[in-house]
Amino acid sequence: MLSFLGFSTLDGFVDAAIPPAIRSRKPLNLPPALSETESLARLAGLAAKNKLFRSFIGMGFSDCVVPPVLQRNIIENPCWYTAYTPYQAEIAQGRLEVLRLFQLMVMDLTGMDVANASLLDEATACAEAMTLSWNAAGQPADKAFFISDGCHPQNIAVVQTRAKSLGIRTVTADESAADLGKGFFGVLVQYPMTDGRVADYRPLCEAAHRHGVLVTAAADILGLTLLKAPGEFGADIAVGSTQRFGLPMGFGGPAAAYMAVREALKRLMPGRIVAVSKDSSGRPALRLALQTREQHIRREKATSNICTAQVLTAVVAAFYAAYHGPEGLKRISSRVHGLACRLAAGLKALGWRVPDEPFFDTVRVEGDPSVVSRAFDAALAKRMNLRRLSDGVLTIALDETTGEADLEDLLEAFADGKPLLDIASAHVHSRIPEPLRRTSPFLADPAFTTNHSETEMMRYIKRLEARDLTLATAMIPLGSCTMKLNAASMMMPITWPGFAKPHPFAPKDQVKGTLALVKDLEKWLCEITGFAAFSFQPNAGSQGEYSGLLVIRRHHERSGEGQRRVCLIPRSAHGTNPASAAMAGMTIVTVECAPGGDIDLADLKAKAAEHSQDLACLMVTYPSTHGVFEEGIKDICRIVHSHGGLVYMDGANMNALVGLCRPAELGADVCHLNLHKTFGMPHGGGGPGMGPIGVTRKLVDLLPNDPLAPAARPDASGPTAASAFSSASILPISWAYIAQMGGPGLKAATETAILNANYVAKKLEGHYATLFRGRGGFVAHECILDLRPLKDSADVTVDDAAKRLMDYGFHAPTVSWPIPGTMMVEPTESEPKVELDRFIEAMVMIRGEAQDIAEGRADKADNPLKNAPHTCSAVTADRWERRYSRQAAAFPTAATRRAKFWPHCGRIDNVFGDRNFVIRPKDSGQECC
Amino acid sequence: MAKPEACRYAKSHEWVCLEGGTAAVGVSDYAQGEMTDVVYVDLPKVGRKVKLGESCGTVESVKAAFEFYSPVSGEVVAVNEALAKDPALVNRSPFVDGWFFKVKPDNPKESESLMDHAAYQEFLKTPAAHGSH
């Protein structure tokens, strides 16, 4: 490959391709690379340092039994975790079907009309509900958002951060005593409350609706199987976490949050929504609907900056519901509730004060503070964590894993030596009174009622799995997404109990292993980027942008320059950038690009000067979104700094920099890293990811603070996720990635990624022009291929080519971004030459197929490109009336004859689907296609 | 209903047609073609005061969203409810069945500042006409 590009060594090639001015002089100073075995052993040691106490802390995190059939076939299965976001719907029908089930599950349990396909965590979902309510009310300047003080503290903290950045006033108080009059646009309540109480919110909803105030209920997903649904008591929006549906607490995550709304609010809802359309043969088929709400289209006017959310974890939750079914879920929740009732009775019998209030799984117990402390310590001595709600008040939250022995241990801790009553045989009444009880049915769709045995479940999973093209099938050359290998040895530790089990709010001395791992990772990422510190709170790249921009705003406020709110964003930026800036309360000013793709320096200078007094920052992606190492990056940073602004670097393209350049040395002040792109985490089919942010020294104390202790660092920019390290349980993946690669390995990976991209670009020369090139005619780690000439000569669109790639067994590269009519190819370092050649062959043949149309050898309308993709049933039908052969349709290459991946659907009609929005078709129960 | 020749046009491709005491508004045939298949139209509520050039609605196709800038100032007195059920009316019949809303204009002479049909046709031949919405 090197000699094809005219080089004899990798170093020589890299020296030619990368501007010397941006190269870092200091090689990476990282520990020597570990073997897979050594890495696993070291991680096992760290996992062993975490103490696995039984958790009764609750607060939105509850342990559960991960069904082994799901652990083996989903969580540990690359056919699920290596998939990309299902934009190419024809080869993603498996995941789309499960996400549709996730939405149905949420719609049923919450009693709402429309649910989305997941959000990042419950706390950010609460914040999204606030902005949704605010937008529905027309962003009123004179109205506030009411937060019930019965909400989980992390939810309150994250909502307050978001409100502050948007200039929304919040009031946090007892909602039962509040006058929800004209002064509010929305209200947030917790269901059940953080202290375990279940309130009847019907009167609150009625009062709120009299004044046009929207009600959001943050509801416990398991509790909803026994409790009246939010949609039934009058809520307009429901949010919550689905963690206890099949995932461990993971010291904070990842897990899917949900959001569901009434029909009238659906176009204001953030996040992906899966809905039904039809394919070219008229059969129902699934795809992402109503995408014009989203940041990649609406930019700063989007409903939210959320992109990818929590697909893999949503898949687990939906399958958990399908595996247990409505009856099974009710059995689990009834059992948990029964145990809680018996615990309450037992505590009462021991003389403790247990308020006589409705509850689901969380028992509140009160007493003299010193006696209460003794009980808390006695529980700790039995390796049980309780929650100290306030002086003299404890809560005990039970879950699916709680057993009789736990109940006895708990009562013993509270007995203080007194003999226990025989609670096993005690008969207790439900603590959910009639009006609060759920009576409506849920999960009636056949998917939820027919897969309760492991045999059926396993086959159901496999049947859906076969519809999706993942890295287990072929390379996924998505530009800007870095679909590299997710090595098995790096994935294995995440399901180890040591990392998976801890509660996010467990005492710090019980999680020394994870904290040590986070510290290592922070040190290594600082070495790689040149920054002084990292925060692991942002649980997605978009969250990193938002959190980083808040740090920048906070910096200016602290310097007495709170008026600095202007955010310069190049026209070529990813849509998430302006969406995040809008969320951070910034004013967006667009900087033009020069014809070559680089930032137009003259325009940047002019706009920075024009806003010299109110410039907050520039958001810049490096290498650029055009896949080029801009030579002027240091000048760009200098210009912004000279006008008092900071530089936010979008780290989406970090895979082209590791070991060669450091963002901080280029001039960046803040940068997020997508651990799911550059640092080995899988994409999960659209999440979970992680977007930690690095900052220079002067910004360190402004990094997001702990949502449970926001007052501890008053200077900080505010919590932006539900727990300090958000999706902490997947951090071992990036730890292992760096540990196994070592400094030289990381550098070689970057160089190989750049080599692969240039190899593809050069091989395709003469077939497709590469639109942007940097120094020496080279691209960075990705190349943008121009397919617009095909449109002119043969009326073949870039979408036709993308769908045709499916017939060749490939997932299309990034389509029509950043330039319409193009494909952005990022092969990554993981792909061997043979796979690159197979892709190149497919692209060359597609060019030939277009040429056939242009030169009249193929029909303009009836050709393999316009009819792509070709399904098995279309190709094997008794009648074949196309003007080309079945072989040409489905087996155009030797590679496809050796191993064929069949697209599950024909071309999907997006227009039909968006004009006829349906999640649950009338003849519900049939799988799509 | 509106005849293209009788309408006035904004540079952002909205049309306004005065008829009796009210002004109907919509998007031009050129604009609907650029938008491709319209899947949703977000309209202002009856009673809202709109200003000439003010963003007061959105037109969505599968891949893009377009702001709708009012080509007239006044109070919205009616909106085209049929667009909710059949947004494709904008594509099929931009001047007749695909109208957006009707306004009681503050100043009937205001639309004289906009292009007439002939001027709009000339405008479409210039590069300024493209990519501005």
ipTM here: 0.89
The verdict on whether omega for the bond into residue A254 sits within 30 degrees of 0, i.e. cis, is yes
Measured CA distances, A46 to A40, A50, A522, A735, A791 (Å): 10, 7, 16, 11, 56
Q: Find chain B residues with C-beta within 8 A of A291's C-beta.
A: 62-63
Confidence of residue A425 (pLDDT cuts 50, 70, 90): low
- Section A517-537 average pLDDT: 98
| Token duo for residue A567 | 């955010």
Q: Does residue A739 carry a pLDDT above 60?
A: yes
Exposed/middle/buried for A35, CB within 10 Å: 0-12, 13-18, 19+?
exposed
CA distance A783 to chain B (A): 23
Closest listed residue to residue B17, CA positions, set B122, B94, B109, B111 = B111
CA distance A232 to chain B (A): 27
User: Average pLDDT in the A660-684 region?
Assistant: 98
Q: What is the mean pLDDT of residues A420-434?
A: 80
Q: In what order do the strands lie in the sheet with A170-173?
A: A114-115, A257-261, A237-241, A214-219, A184-191, A144-148, A170-173
Give DSSP secondary structure letters for A315-374.
HHHHHHHHHHHHHHHHHHHHHHHHHHHHHHHHHHHTT-B-----BSSEEEEE--HHHHHH
Assigned token pair, A138 = 């027309």
Record: contact B65-A301, CB cut-off 8 A? yes
Helix (H) or strand (E) holding A206: helix A202-210
Q: What is the CB neighbour count within 10 angstroms for residue A927?
A: 17
pLDDT of residue B131: 59
Closest to A89 (Cα-Cα) out of A828, A790, A929, A683? A929
Residue A75 has pLDDT above 60, yes or no: yes
Tally the C-alpha atoms within 13 A of residue A440's C-alpha that lie toward its C-beta.
18
Instruction: Among A290, A292, A301, select the one facing B64 at the smallest CB separation.
Output: A292
Residues A375-404 have a mean pLDDT of: 97
> What would the 3-class secondary structure string for A575-604 be?
CHHHHHHHHCCCEEEEECECCCCCECHHHH
Mean pLDDT of A179-203: 95
Length of chain A: 929
Instruction: Name which of A13-17, A425-429, B69-73 the model is least confident about.
Output: A425-429
**Rounded distance, CA A407 to CA A842, Å?**
62
pLDDT in tens, A624-657: 999 999 999 999 999 999 999 999 999 999 999 9
Confidence category of residue B132, pLDDT binned at 50, 70, 90 = very low
pLDDT at residue A158, as a whole number: 98
Residue A925 has pLDDT above 60, yes or no: no
CA-nearest residue to A301 within chain B is B65
Instruction: With beta carbons less than 8 A apart as the criterion, state whether A289 and A114 touch.
Output: no
The answer on pLDDT for A674 being more than 80 is: yes
| Residue in A301, A910, A914 closest to B40 by CB | A914
pLDDT(A928) > 80: no
Does any CB of chain B come closer than 8 Å to the CB of residue A918? Answer: no
3-state secondary structure of A454: helix
> B39 and A915 in contact by Cβ < 8 A?
yes
CB of A214 closer than 8 Å to CB of A464: no
Q: What is the pLDDT of residues A149-178, one digit of tens each?
A: 999 999 999 999 999 999 999 999 999 988
b/e string for A360-379 if b means 16 or more Cβ within 10 A? bbbbbbebeeeebeebbebb
**Hey, are the CB atoms on B62 and A298 less than 8 Å from each other?**
no
Element (H, E) at A55: strand A54-55
- The structure tokens listed for B107 are 């100043």
The pLDDT mean for chain A works out to 96
For chains A and B, what is the number of CB pairs under 8 angstroms?
32
Task: Read off the pLDDT band of B129 (50, 70, 90).
Answer: confident
**Model pLDDT, residue A929:** 59
> Which chain A residues contact residue B40 at CB under 8 A?
267, 290, 292, 914-915
> Is B65 in contact with A915 (Cβ distance < 8 A)?
no
| Reported confidence tier of residue B1, pLDDT bands at 50, 70, 90 | low
Supply the pLDDT for residue B41: 95
Q: Is the pTM of this model over 0.90?
A: yes
H or E segment and range at residue A649: strand A646-651
Q: Which one of A297, A301, A915 has the shortest CB-CB distance to B64?
A: A297
Where are the strands (E) in A460-499, listed by range? none
- The two three-digit tokens of residue A469, written as one number: 């093209």
**Which residues in chain B are contacts of A298 at CB distance < 8 A?**
65
Q: How far apart are CA B86 and CA A300, in angstroms?
A: 28
Cβ contacts (< 8 Å) between B63 and chain A: which residues?
Answer: 291-292, 297
Residue type at A882 in one-letter notation: R
The token pair at A881 is: 């009336």
- pLDDT tens digits for range A254-267: 999 999 999 999 99
Within 13 Å and on the Cβ side, how many CA atoms surround B4?
13
Q: What is the pLDDT of residue A471?
A: 98
Write down the pLDDT at residue B133.
40
The residue of chain B with its CA nearest to that of A268 is B42
Which of A298, A301, A910 has its CB closest to that of B62?
A: A910
Amino acid at the residue A528: I
Q: Is A291 on the interface with B (CB under 8 A)?
A: yes
- What number is the average pLDDT over the span A674-703? 97
Record: contact A292-B42, CB cut-off 8 A: no
pLDDT at residue number A424:
59
**Is the CB of residue A732 less than 8 Å from the CB of residue A486?**
no
Closest A-chain CA to B65: A292
Helix (H) or strand (E) holding B90: helix B89-92
Each residue's pLDDT tens digit, A278-331? 999 999 999 999 988 888 888 888 889 998 789 999 999 999 999 999 999 999
Cα–Cα distance measured from residue A871 to residue A865, given in angstroms and rounded to the nearest whole number: 13
Instruction: Identify the helix (H) or strand (E) that includes residue A799.
Output: helix A798-807
Quick check: A856 and A818 in contact, CB under 8 A?
Answer: no
**What value does the mean pLDDT take over residues A890-907?**
98
A382 and A409 Cβ atoms separated by less than 8 Å: yes
Across the interface, which of B37, B42, B65 has its CB nearest the CB of A911? Answer: B37
Task: Note the Cα A73 to chain centre separation in Å.
Answer: 21
Percent of chain A beyond pLDDT 90?
Answer: 93
